[in-house]
Structure formats: structure tokens, C-alpha cells
């Protein structure tokens, strides 16, 4: 047996339901449609902003080719205005590279720190972190370098991290720690350690033996 035996009863039931709930349904449809439009407007607006940042970065790169020294002021302004963008990380790395040509290691440290802080990509963050630790050793900030290297990094960077730790410990005259770090660096290369790293370990082992 049907709930409503006749079409007339079905129509009347629909009319009654609509009278009771029609406004709520209309409101729901309007809100849903508005949300759909709003989401698409949001996506379009986000895309427009990303394109604008991309264009600004390209302009920065082109101007830097013509006027390398002007890169610093323009680059810092770009970073301050686009901190949430990946382009700010690339700009910071560019500034660090430019500062290194002048051997201005304090500035290099500053820009690499910015790159580490702003990067959303694990690989780029790791590259900036390893470079930052090396620069901190250059500045004789040994403890700072070791702290920097304590950050969680992808396993593929273990060899670099351990080698730099070895360099840092050696400068602190912690030879046993340095040897352990070099050994771990070599182990992390799976038998593909470069001659320079192997030489560090051999020289250190010989030095420990002589002493």
C-alpha cells in the first residue's frame, strides 16, 4: 500500500512540505551557491596574487642582472612584502649568494637564516640549513653551527651534516667526537665518500695516534 494513494494526495503533501520548509531550502541553496561562488573567487584571487608575486620576482631577477648591487635593497623589500611566498626563500638564497661574492659572511648568515625560516620545501630548507652551518663555522660560531645542524633534515643530507659536525668538533678540539662524526658521514655515503672526507678522517686518526 502506498503512503499516498493518489497523485492529488502526493501533490498536497509536497505543497504542505514546501510551505513549511520552503524558505529554509531556498536559504540553503542560496548559501551553498554563494559559497561555491566565493570559493571560486577565492581561488581566482589567490591565483592572481601568486602570478603577481611571480612577475615581481622575475622583475627583481632581471633588474639584478643589470644592477647586482641594487639586489640587496630590492630583495629585502621583496621578502618583507612576500614572506608567505616560496619566492621569498629563493630571493633570500640569491641575496646570500651575492653577499658571499663580497665575503660578507655576516650578511650571508642573515640571508640563509631567512631562507631557512621562510622555506616550505624540505629540500630547499635542508640546503639552506647546511650552508648556514658552514657559514657559522666560517664566522667561528661553532655552537651556533651545531645547533643549526640539530634541525630535522632529510636522510639524504646526513653525510653533509655529519661532516660539518666533524669540522665543528675539530675546531673545538673534540677529536673523538670529530672522528665519530666523520665516520658516520662516510657510512652515510654508502662507500661513495669523496677523497676530501676520507682524508679528514685519516689525518685525524693519525693525529690522535701521535698524541
Q: pLDDT tens across 187-211, in order?
A: 888 777 778 878 888 777 776 765 5
Cα distance between residue 185 and residue 182, in whole Å: 5
Cα distance between residue 176 and residue 182, in whole Å: 10
Each residue's pLDDT tens digit, 83-137: 777 878 888 888 888 888 889 999 999 989 998 998 888 888 888 999 999 999 9
Q: Which residue's entry shows cell 630590492?
A: 74
Task: Copy the grid coordinates of residue 204.
Answer: 685525524
Instruction: Domains for the chain: give ranges and CATH numbers.
Output: 12-152 (1.25.40), 154-211 (no CATH)
Quote the pLDDT of residue 7.
Answer: 43
More confident residue, 11 or 106: 106
Neighbouring CB atoms inside 10 A of 124's CB total: 17
- Residues 6 or more apart whose CB falls under 8 angstroms from that of 173 comprise none
Q: If you average pLDDT over residues 170-180, what whole number do you get?
A: 92
Q: What is the dihedral of CA 79, 83, 86, 89, to 10 degrees?
A: 50
Give the angle 171-127-156 at the CA atoms, nearest 5°. 90
Q: Is 190 left (phi over 0), alpha (psi -120 to 50) or beta?
A: left
Each residue's pLDDT tens digit, 20-71: 555 554 455 545 555 555 544 444 455 555 656 666 667 666 666 666 677 7
Q: Please, are residues 71 and 83 in contact by the beta-carbon 8 Å criterion?
A: no
Q: If you average pLDDT over residues 127-151, what whole number do you get?
A: 94
Give the angle 153-110-74 at the CA atoms, nearest 5°. 115
Q: Is 167 left (phi over 0), alpha (psi -120 to 50) or beta?
A: alpha
Quote the pLDDT of residue 202.
Answer: 78
Q: Give the pLDDT band of residue 79 (cuts 50, 70, 90).
A: confident
Cα distance between residue 100 and residue 75, in whole Å: 15
Amino acid at each position: 500500500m502506498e503512503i499516498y494513494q493518489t497523485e492529488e494526495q502526493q501533490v498536497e503533501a509536497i505543497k504542505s512540505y514546501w510551505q513549511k520548509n520552503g524558505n529554509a531550502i531556498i536559504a540553503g541553496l542560496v548559501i551553498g551557491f554563494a559559497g561555491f561562488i566565493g570559493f571560486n573567487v577565492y581561488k581566482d584571487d589567490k591565483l592572481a596574487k601568486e602570478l603577481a608575486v611571480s612577475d615581481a620576482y622575475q622583475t627583481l631577477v632581471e633588474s639584478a642582472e643589470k644592477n647586482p648591487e641594487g639586489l640587496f635593497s630590492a630583495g629585502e623589500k621583496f621578502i618583507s612584502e612576500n614572506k608567505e611566498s616560496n619566492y621569498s626563500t629563493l630571493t633570500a638564497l640569491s641575496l646570500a649568494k651575492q653577499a658571499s661574492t663580497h665575503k660578507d659572511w655576516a650578511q650571508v648568515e642573515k640571508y640563509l637564516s631567512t631562507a631557512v625560516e621562510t622555506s616550505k620545501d624540505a629540500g630547499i630548507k635542508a640546503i639552506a640549513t647546511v650552508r648556514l652551518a658552514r657559514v657559522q663555522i666560517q664566522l667561528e660560531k661553532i655552537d651556533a653551527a651545531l645547533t643549526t645542524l640539530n634541525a630535522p633534515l632529510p636522510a639524504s643530507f646526513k653525510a653533509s651534516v655529519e661532516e660539518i659536525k666533524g669540522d665543528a668538533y675539530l675546531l673545538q678540539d673534540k677529536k673523538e667526537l670529530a672522528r665519530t662524526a666523520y665516520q658516520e658521514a662516510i657510512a652515510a655515503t654508502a662507500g661513495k665518500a669523496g677523497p676530501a672526507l676520507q682524508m679528514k678522517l685519516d689525518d685525524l686518526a693519525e693525529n690522535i695516534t701521535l698524541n
